[in-house]
């Protein structure tokens, strides 16, 4: 029997962080204000109120489309998507249907292209809150916040790759300054269309899973759906085409409703808004995508994991400028490269390091190499330099009497554990690991374990 193939398409909503809402002048501030304080006749959908398009939100969406090599539509327009819900006072959402802003974009991750079917712009709904007495409250501060919807092609065949896509997309959006896109806050929300089929068979009916509120949940919800659908199919039962919700608490998907088709929304062109005209200047110089930043760091000799972490922390610019400063200072690329790699590694552990000047960093790194400093020692020195306004060399001279270096800890452990030392000399590997464990414990797990092993071997002779 052939295996079941999982097929997933994603629909991702992201709130744009513009100053004002999509179709009125109300502040776009759904998180920090009292309920219903950023609202007007447009937000409430009162009769006669007219929407005015937020140019900035259109530009932001177009910039994402441009960064992902999408086609910007020549004459995109707005449409009404009709449905009734208490958080949607107009009875329709202004969205885009047949002419979305962007089509056929591509997000490249680790050299692999991922196809995006469309990116369109719409407005967010309000937020419902349900109390314990059966009452529901609604906050319209979020109603009308600009919302981008990114729809992928159904190209994912594993839960992990779908999750990875969401993570990379978040980085791209952060990088372009469109939104923080945090999933916990609901600034980014994922829905997964999941189906299974036998190889060579047509795609099965898809199930839409909503309310996925973390990257981890993207993976878990898809995995859950895969097993649920598989066990249905293996019992020769049909998988119903429906919308389900992910319950984080129960770790499963629960049926919400039978799927509407797009005909149920009775889309029609929004008569109160004009066509959208999109003009963008050339691709901005600073707009290196995370994938491009990682590859640039790799070219300069930075190890993969460190490059990844630097890009994730949006520290690419400062690492590159440190690199350039070091190259200028030494006029020797090899030194600069080593410096940059070290700096990248260090920065993972010591965020405040970037507050030191490039030359101070070089001195500090040299000292660290010579002395095999542990993390607490390094932290102490960085804090002392930043707090005391003295140079690294002065601070090191002052502190060296009191700071505990790795070599001191090694000597201490060796003298406290004569039995283990003896066992080690008789060739017992476990004894060596025990000693490494003792050293790590004394450094509170902060020392580099590779360095500890190396130095311990030397100390033991």
Q: What are the residues binding Zn ion (CB under 5 A)? A: 24, 26, 40, 42-43
Residue closer to Mn ion by CB (options 14, 221) is 14
CB of 125 to Zn ion, least distance (A): 13
Query: Which listed option, Mn ion, Zn ion, none, makes contact with residue 169 (CB within 5 to 8 Å by class)?
Result: none
Query: Which listed option, Zn ion, Mn ion, none, makes contact with residue 326 (CB within 5 to 8 Å by class)?
Result: none
Residue closer to Mn ion by CB (options 81, 345) is 81
CB of 122 to Mn ion, least distance (A): 5
Interacting stretch for Mn ion, rule CB under 5 A, among 145-153, 173-181, 265-273, 276-284?
A: 145-153
Query: Which listed option, Zn ion, Mn ion, none, makes contact with residue 145 (CB within 5 to 8 Å by class)?
Result: none
> How big is the site for Mn ion, counted in residues (CB under 5 A)?
1
CB of 189 to Zn ion, least distance (A): 22
Query: Which listed option, Zn ion, Mn ion, none, makes contact with residue 358 (CB within 5 to 8 Å by class)?
Result: none
Residue closer to Zn ion by CB (options 25, 349) is 25
Answer whether 91's CB lies under 8 Å from 125's CB: no
Residue closer to Mn ion by CB (options 149, 225) is 149
CA-to-CA distance for 137 and 129, rounded, in angstroms? 5
CB of 17 to Zn ion, least distance (A): 17
Interacting stretch for Mn ion, rule CB under 5 A, among 59-67, 111-119, 144-152, 397-405?
A: 144-152
Residues 149-178 that bind Mn ion (CB under 5 A): 149
CB of 212 to Mn ion, least distance (A): 14
CB of 335 to Mn ion, least distance (A): 52
CB of 173 to Zn ion, least distance (A): 24
Query: Which listed option, Mn ion, Zn ion, none, makes contact with residue 149 (CB within 5 to 8 Å by class)?
Result: Mn ion
CB of 13 to Mn ion, least distance (A): 6
Residue closer to Zn ion by CB (options 20, 229) is 20
Residue 225 touching Mn ion (CB under 5 A): no
Residue closer to Zn ion by CB (options 141, 193) is 141
Residue closer to Zn ion by CB (options 25, 86) is 25
Where on the chain is the footprint of Mn ion (CB under 5 A)? Answer: 149
């Amino acid at each position: 029997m052939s295996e079941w193939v999982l097929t997933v398409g994603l629909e991702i909503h992201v709130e744009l962080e513009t100053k004002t809402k999509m179709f009125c002048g109300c502040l776009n501030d759904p998180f920090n204000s009292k309920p219903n304080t950023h609202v007007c006749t447009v937000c409430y959908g009162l009769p006669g109120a007219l929407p005015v398009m937020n140019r900035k939100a259109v530009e932001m969406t177009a910039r994402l489309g441009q960064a992902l090599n999408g086609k910007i539509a020549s004459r995109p327009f707005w449409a009404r998507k009709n449905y009734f819900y208490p958080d949607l006072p107009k009875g329709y959402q202004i969205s885009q249907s047949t002419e979305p802003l962007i089509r056929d974009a591509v997000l490249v991750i680790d050299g692999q292209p991922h196809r995006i079917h469309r990116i369109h712009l719409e407005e967010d709904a309000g937020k419902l809150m349900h109390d314990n007495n059966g009452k529901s409250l609604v906050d319209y501060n979020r109603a009308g916040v600009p919302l981008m919807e990114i729809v992928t092609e159904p190209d994912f065949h594993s839960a992990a790759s779908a999750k990875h896509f969401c993570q990379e997309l978040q980085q791209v959006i952060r990088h372009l300054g469109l939104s923080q896109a945090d999933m916990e806050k609901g600034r980014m929300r994922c829905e997964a269309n999941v189906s299974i089929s036998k190889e060579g068979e047509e795609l099965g009916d898809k199930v839409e899973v909503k309310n996925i509120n973390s990257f981890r949940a993207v993976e878990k919800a898809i995995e859950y759906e895969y097993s649920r659908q598989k066990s249905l199919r293996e019992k020769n039962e049909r998988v119903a085409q429906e919308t389900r919700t992910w319950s984080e608490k129960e770790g499963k998907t629960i049926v919400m409703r039978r799927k509407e088709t797009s005909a149920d929304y009775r889309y029609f062109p929004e008569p109160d808004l004009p066509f959208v005209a999109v003009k963008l200047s050339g691709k901005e110089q600073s707009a290196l995508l995370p994938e491009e930043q990682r590859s640039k760091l790799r070219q300069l000799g930075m190890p993969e994991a460190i490059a990844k972490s630097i890009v994730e922390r949006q520290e690419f610019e400062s690492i590159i400028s440190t690199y350039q400063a070091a190259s200028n200072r030494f006029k020797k690329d090899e030194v600069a490269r080593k410096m940059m790699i070290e700096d990248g590694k260090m920065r993972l552990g010591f965020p405040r390091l970037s507050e030191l000047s490039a030359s101070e960093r070089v001195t500090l790194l040299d000292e660290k190499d010579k002395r095999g400093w542990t993390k607490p020692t390094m932290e102490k020195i960085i804090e002392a330099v930043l707090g005391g306004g003295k140079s690294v060399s002065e601070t090191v001279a002052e502190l060296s009497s009191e700071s505990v270096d790795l070599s001191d800890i090694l000597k201490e452990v060796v003298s406290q554990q004569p039995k283990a030392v003896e066992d080690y000399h008789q060739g017992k590997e476990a004894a060596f690991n025990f000693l490494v464990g003792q050293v790590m414990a004394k450094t509170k797990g902060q020392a580099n374990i590779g360095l500890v092993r190396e130095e311990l071997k030397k100390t033991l002779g």
